[in-house]
Amino acid sequence: MYSNPELVLKGAFLESSICWQSPSNIALIKYWGKYGIQLPQNPSLSITLNNAVTKTKVTYAYSTTGKIETQLVFNDGEAPLFHEKINVFLKSILPIFPFLSQLKMTIESSNTFPHSAGIASSASAMSALALCLCSIENKLFSSLSNASDFFNKASYVARLGSGSASRSVYGGLVLWGKYDEINESSNEFAVPLRENIHPNFATLHDAILIVSDQEKKVSSTKGHSLMHGHPFEKARFEQARANMKVLLSALKDGDIPQFIEVVENEALSLHAMMMTSKESFLLMEPATIHIIDKIRFFRKENKVDICFTLDAGPNIHLIYSEKDKHHVKGFIKNDLLKNGLIKNWIDDCVGDGPKIIKE
Ligand code: PMV
């Protein structure tokens, strides 16, 4: 779609740099299962976070070696596996950015959140890198001066790095994947959901409850592949579409009980898929289940609108809105932390999306 053999430099330029800060996101409707080149089997919907961000600075200069040359500094140190991943990714997108083989790049990347905190670092890292690449293209060729073209392409490129990263180039609620009732939606890139959001959902918060900081037991690549031939494959993709319909209507009408029901159903369905795939993964810890019970009990007893979602790991994302902030913080401190159910937690909320950083 974006292959462009014309994006080739005619001569040298002075060394320059660009820096973007891009957030992670947490899916409410989960993407789990893909086909072709990183295309989703079902549409997904997420909230973009505010505090959990990756900052990526790319310094670039003209080079005549004819190959991609990169140096990576990650959290002020080395990260050979991540560096390798970036090089493979850059090579794969050469038809989109042919000028990359005419550059020497130093990529400095750092996260504001700890590794393995249950926050998708690939979403923030790949979206930040995609945004830097689009900015470099625009600086060199003035080809992406229209903001909507710029973010569309950044989302497309981010998707090729990590599917969920396509959603991180926008703030608020973001949808990725073709969904007939949203005209502009596409499997190729994400679109922000700016209309039909009831004020009840304007200030969503995400308290990330850290049950374990162990490495992920299953990579996303492996997880997605296990959906091929899964006994519930067809049913899961249909369920995700049906849940999307219900969630969009709950968001429009301000229907909190419906929102809670769908969000928790999606989290548990994701884990059910992993538990019942040919190679089975049980990613919840005993404390995860204990906390889910407590959240449901707290909701019922105190009539507070909280719910949980999960990523592909044991940590819990506790979703609530501004009005319940004090109640929820009390629950976390006086119950979950006091009783040793969580090690710590990260206080995050819905954010405005990526920002360019002037240095
Ligand atoms: O973007 P990937 O390939 O790391 O897959 C992300 C999958 C989930 O985080 C489990 C769900 C989602 O939609 O973000």
Q: Would you say residue 216 has pLDDT above 80?
A: no
Mean pLDDT value of segment 187-216: 94
Q: For the segment 199-211, what is each residue's pLDDT rounded down to a tens digit?
A: 999 999 999 999 9
Mean pLDDT value of segment 42-65: 97
Would the CB of 271 count as within 6 Å of ligand 1?
Answer: no
Q: For the segment 325-342, what is each residue's pLDDT rounded down to a tens digit?
A: 999 999 999 999 999 999
Would the CB of 167 count as within 6 Å of ligand 1?
Answer: no
Res. 237 pLDDT band, cuts 50 70 90: very high
Would the CB of 27 count as within 6 Å of ligand 1?
Answer: yes
Mean pLDDT value of segment 246-266: 98
Q: Enumerate residues 6+ apart whose C-beta is below 8 A from 71.
A: 105, 106, 107
As given in the structure block, the two tokens for residue 170 are: 């926008």
Pick the atom of ligand 1 nearest to 311's CA: 10
Interval between CA 162 and ligand 1 midpoint (Å): 8
Q: For the segment 16-34, what is each residue's pLDDT rounded down to a tens digit?
A: 999 999 999 999 999 999 9
Mean pLDDT value of segment 275-287: 96
The pTM score is 0.97
Would the CB of 124 count as within 6 Å of ligand 1?
Answer: no
Ordered by where they begin, the domains of the chain are 16-195+352-356 (3.30.230.10), 200-349 (3.30.70.890)
2: Cα within 13 Å, side-chain hemisphere:
24
Q: Whose CA is nearest to atom 9 of ligand 1?
A: 311
Give the model's pLDDT for residue 213.
Answer: 82
Instruction: Say if residues 176 and 158 touch (Cβ distance below 8 Å).
Output: no
Q: Considering the chain, what percentage of its residues have pLDDT values greater than 90?
A: 94
For a mutational test of ligand 1's pocket, the pick from 28, 30, 127, i.e. the residue with the most ligand atoms closer than 8 A to its C-beta, is 30
What's the CA angle centered on 226, arms 262 and 231, to 5 degrees? Answer: 70
Interval between CA 163 and ligand 1 midpoint (Å): 7
Instruction: Name the residue among 244, 242, 292, 299 with its Cα closest to residue 271.
Output: 292
Give the model's pLDDT for residue 1.
Answer: 86
Would the CB of 281 count as within 6 Å of ligand 1?
Answer: no
